[in-house]
Amino acid sequence: GAGVSQSPRYKVAKRGQDVALRCDPISGHVSLFWYQQALGQGPEFLTYFQNEAQLDKSGLPSDRFFAERPEGSVSTLKIQRTQQEDSAVYLCASSLERIKGGDSRYEQYFGPGTRLTVT
């Protein structure tokens, strides 16, 4: 079946431009996650949705970063006034399971990522 898809796969932006990155999760997946992976490093958590509710945005590095999932399916990560330090691969992941009473077993399925280069 179809996995998590992300678009565009590559984005070059001039410093100061706004960008929007799209994530299509696996159909029926309740949870959606965004991560940022800088060159040579492991991914770092940005934000998390359960359906349309953004339950955790503690990883967003600044108020220039904004994410939404208005209908509980597709999500968009928007970065305003891009800076060179925003250059990274942005990964989206989705998972089927809800969090149930502290039992946190789940699996996140990752998309291929969007490589953002800010010049």
Partner 1 sequence: AQSVTQLDSHVSVSEGTPVLLRCNYSSSYSPSLFWYVQHPNKGLQLLLKYTSAATLVKGINGFEAEFKKSETSFHLTKPSAHMSDAAEYFCVVSGLAGNKLTFGGGTRVLVKP
Q: List interacting residues with partner 1 (CB under 8 A).
A: 3-4, 31, 33, 35, 40-45, 48, 50, 55-56, 59, 91, 93, 99, 102-113
The DSSP code for 41 is: S
Q: By C-beta, is 14 or 105 nearer to partner 1? A: 105
How many Cβ atoms from other residues are within 10 Å of residue 47's Cβ? 22
Q: By C-beta, is 10 or 15 nearer to partner 1? A: 10
- Cβ 67 to partner 1 shortest distance, Å: 14
Q: By C-beta, is 82 or 114 nearer to partner 1? A: 114
- Cβ 32 to partner 1 shortest distance, Å: 11
Nearest to 95 by CA among 87, 105, 103, 85: 105
Nearest to 80 by CA among 56, 66, 93, 64: 64
Nearest to 23 by CA among 40, 39, 2: 2
Which segments of the chain does DSSP mark as H helices, in order? Answer: none
- Cβ 111 to partner 1 shortest distance, Å: 6
